[in-house]
Structure 1
Amino acid sequence: MKYVPLGRTGLNVSRVCLGTMTWGTQNNQADADEQIEYALANGVNFIDTAEMYSVPPTAESYGKTEVIIGDWISRHPERREEFILATKIAGPGLKYIRGGSNISGKTVIEAVDASLKRLQTDYIDLYQLHWPNRTTPHFAKHFPGTISFSDVERNEQSAQILDILHGLDACIKAGKIRHFGLSDDTTWGISEFLRLSEKHDLPRVASIQNEFSLLHAKDWPYLIEHCVHEDVAYLPWSALAAGALTGKYLGGARPEGSRWTYAQRHGIFRDTPLVDKAVTAYVDVAKKYEMTPAQLALAWCDQVDGVSSTIIGATSLEQLKEDMDAFDLNLSDEALQDIMAVFKLYPVPF
């Protein structure tokens, strides 16, 4: 296993981050225990979760994943220091979470306390804002005209960010969290957090996790360049495009129990004719180089300049093993050329 710095935190994280969002809906406690044990035994020292999980998010599934992780920690308290634990506060819009309110300094403190209780731990290594208070071009909102940046009141957003930073600072000083990061944010969001933290001597953003894959590479190059030069760790999520890049959904297939058989909060927006064509082509490339389509997609993501640690999730131990093996693969120049030939045909398939 290879390890990389988590921004300027002084922490080193494995290139593989164990994602957990299916635990509580598609996976039970025994499944989670098995995955945690395998990941830790094979060098993974980074686990990511969120108060909103499990997915699809519902009032009934809220907090279930943290409870499952907390159950494991309660039975293995001596192993808590073996891994860096990351979780997230939900952004606005979910009525069953703090009435759907914006993130604020006050709600950060409340949410941290609630997560600590569910996780049965004294501290969270990386506490992330799941999505900003303002609407950002994520979840298929990245095409021109989908959202309006001009409608956002900059000073209001800056004031909210400053308030959030004060809440995070209070949690860090209390020893409840060690560092903080962003998720589903933009270059402006990163820069504003950096500007305000420097101006007011408040905690510095350590990382950002955004969707990034062969089917959705909008963060390359501008946001990732920003992360590299500002020492903000870039953590891709959905490197398999919610499973699309495994090839299992080709031709409208919906394997029993798979993620796309569940109702999705934002709909199955990755299911497009162009995605089908792109995935078909990537499957052919994977066959040529004798690897699975999932391994091809993950190995490609891992080698992208500026990527720190890739968040992977699996609904079975077999899938987890397959996915983790991808990070031991080296894509040849020829393989990368074949991948890019497909990418250039389908750069934005959804």
Structure 2
Amino acid sequence: MQQMALSAFVTTPSSSYSNNLPRLTACRSQRWHARRLRSQVRAQAQQELQYKKLGDSDLLISEITLGTMTFGEQNTEKEAHDMLSYSFDQGINILDTAEMYPVPTKKETQGRTDLYIGRWMQSKPRDKVILATKVSGYSERSTYLRDNAEVVRVDAANIKESVEKSLSRLSTDYIDLLQIHWPDRYVPIFGEFSYNSTKWRPSVPFEDQLKAFQELIDEGKVRYIGVSNETSYGVMEFVQAAKLQGLPKIVSIQNSYSLIVRCRFEVDLVEVCHPNNCNVGLLAYSPLGGGVLSGKYLDANSAGAKRSRLNLFPGYMERYNASLAKEATDEYVKLAKKHGLTPVRLALGFVRGRPFTASTIIGATTMDQLKENIDAFTSAPRPLPPQVLDDIEILFKKYKDPRLN
């Protein structure tokens, strides 16, 4: 798909016109700026999606990746197919699934997401869809993923079984991007932040994992590989093993990244993944912080909050429900309003505009949500104006990653 070049959204910084408003009070000047920004946003023409090369692969992916983890739990097959079709009609060319989906995960529904996608793909040109999926990492609970396993590992046997089953469910003979959902070794993820050295355990060597992927690539069943929920140490070890042994190199990392989850990636992964270093593209998941950055959970009694997953599934993504996370979200919602933006446009516009973001993974349980998310890329300011970014940094200095508190 031909890459689209989009004109940047340009706004005049407040400092360049404030001298022309000597009689305006600070409050009136702020309101004037907000009205001016809103008029510029409305005047901006509808834009097409941009496309980026993923790492050092030849995959040219849309700046939006369609996430599918609600398909089969919160969404019916018809709803899933409608969302898939609408997304690809809008220019999205990559979708992300996993062998364990939908979530919350359970044996009874495992693989249902893939089946929905597979039946939809039967009517689509295969070469027009970039299909990304994930093989599960170390797990003592999800043994139902394998025919005979006491524990799920990222070794040759587990990887091969995972891929064969995924290909069958997805009704395809190859996967464009196969990712390790989470590492085989212990790492602090899914709400855990600090590394606990007492949890260290022996793990499958990085080289052995890459050799297993090499076999699948040689067989034509996988094109490229990536990681997810990974650390700088893991990325460097995979890249080094590939370089020394002539094995396939990872081209992507799928990690959580949003206004309220920044530190883990920005502290050092951003340097490791830089195009001039390891050249690993970020597929940013949970750009709305599990949906909280839309502001819908601020009113616990609203219809939107009651039918959303944090309330439907108590304890699920509990880290985003922390009191400080709610406080920070409230401040970001106010910031969006101040600048004439919706909370969704602010949150997605921020992630979209980061230079290290290859694609932003969006998910939705309704068509209206999906349209709003896509609209944040096609109609919102590009990039976010400097004054908006400055205000974001002020809040970031105050709250950092509030989900950790």
TM-score by structure 2 length? 0.81
Correspondent of 2:193 among 131, 137, 142: 142
| 1:188-337 correspondence to structure 2 within 5 Å | 188-217=233-262, 218-228=264-274, 229-253=277-301, 255-263=305-313, 268-328=318-378, 329=380, 330=382, 331-337=384-390
Question: Following the alignment from structure 1 to structure 2, what is the Cα–Cα distance between the partners of residues 242 and 165?
Answer: 31
2:341 paired with 1:341: no
Question: Following the alignment from structure 1 to structure 2, what is the Cα–Cα distance between the partners of residues 135 and 296?
Answer: 34
Structure 1 pair 306–264 and aligned structure 2 pair: CA distance change class (3 A): farther
Structure 1 pair 26–108 and aligned structure 2 pair: CA distance change class (3 A): same
CA drift at 1:166:
1.2
Aligned position for 2:58: 10
2:156 paired with 1:105: yes
Question: How many correspondences in the alignment?
Answer: 342
> Residues 52-106 of structure 1, C-alpha deviation per residue, up to 9 Å, x if partnerless?
10011111121110010001012x14x2211210000111222322343211111
3-state DSSP class of the match of 1:219? helix
2:47 paired with 1:47: no
Aligned AA for 2:55? G
2:101 paired with 1:56: no
Question: Following the alignment from structure 1 to structure 2, what is the Cα–Cα distance between the partners of residues 10 and 118?
Answer: 25
Question: Following the alignment from structure 1 to structure 2, what is the Cα–Cα distance between the partners of residues 60 and 292?
Answer: 38
Question: Following the alignment from structure 1 to structure 2, what is the Cα–Cα distance between the partners of residues 111 and 313?
Answer: 24
Aligned position for 1:89: 135
Q: Between the two proteins, what is the percent identity of the paired residues?
A: 37
Aligned AA for 2:234? G
Structure 1 pair 336–267 and aligned structure 2 pair: CA distance change class (3 A): closer
CA drift at 1:180:
0.5
Structure 1 pair 97–265 and aligned structure 2 pair: CA distance change class (3 A): farther
Aligned position for 2:28: none
Which is worse superposed, 219-228 or 21-30? 219-228
> Residues 233-264 of structure 1, C-alpha deviation per residue, up to 9 Å, x if partnerless?
11110011101101111154572321112336
> Residues 301-323 of structure 1, C-alpha deviation per residue, up to 9 Å, x if partnerless?
11112111011101111111111
Structure with greater Cα Rg: 2
RMSD: 1.6
Aligned position for 2:183: 132
Structure 1 pair 299–267 and aligned structure 2 pair: CA distance change class (3 A): closer
Question: Following the alignment from structure 2 to structure 1, what is the Cα–Cα distance between the partners of residues 345 and 188?
Answer: 28
CA drift at 1:343:
1.6
Question: Following the alignment from structure 1 to structure 2, what is the Cα–Cα distance between the partners of residues 264 and 191?
Answer: 36
3-state DSSP class of the match of 1:178? strand
Question: Following the alignment from structure 2 to structure 1, what is the Cα–Cα distance between the partners of residues 207 and 312?
Answer: 37
CA drift at 1:265:
7.2
CA drift at 1:149:
3.8
3-state DSSP class of the match of 1:131? coil
Unmatched tracts of structure 1, length 5 or more: none
TM-score by structure 1 length? 0.93
3-state DSSP class of the match of 1:221? helix
3-state DSSP class of the match of 1:321? helix
Which is worse superposed, 81-90 or 254-263? 254-263
Aligned AA for 1:349? P
Question: Following the alignment from structure 2 to structure 1, what is the Cα–Cα distance between the partners of residues 82 and 299?
Answer: 32
Aligned AA for 2:387? E
Correspondent of 1:179 among 219, 224, 228: 224
Structure 1 pair 95–262 and aligned structure 2 pair: CA distance change class (3 A): farther
Question: Following the alignment from structure 2 to structure 1, what is the Cα–Cα distance between the partners of residues 118 and 252?
Answer: 23
Unmatched tracts of structure 2, length 5 or more: 1-48
3-state DSSP class of the match of 1:54? coil
Structure 1 pair 264–14 and aligned structure 2 pair: CA distance change class (3 A): farther
Aligned AA for 1:268? E
Question: Following the alignment from structure 2 to structure 1, what is the Cα–Cα distance between the partners of residues 100 and 131?
Answer: 16
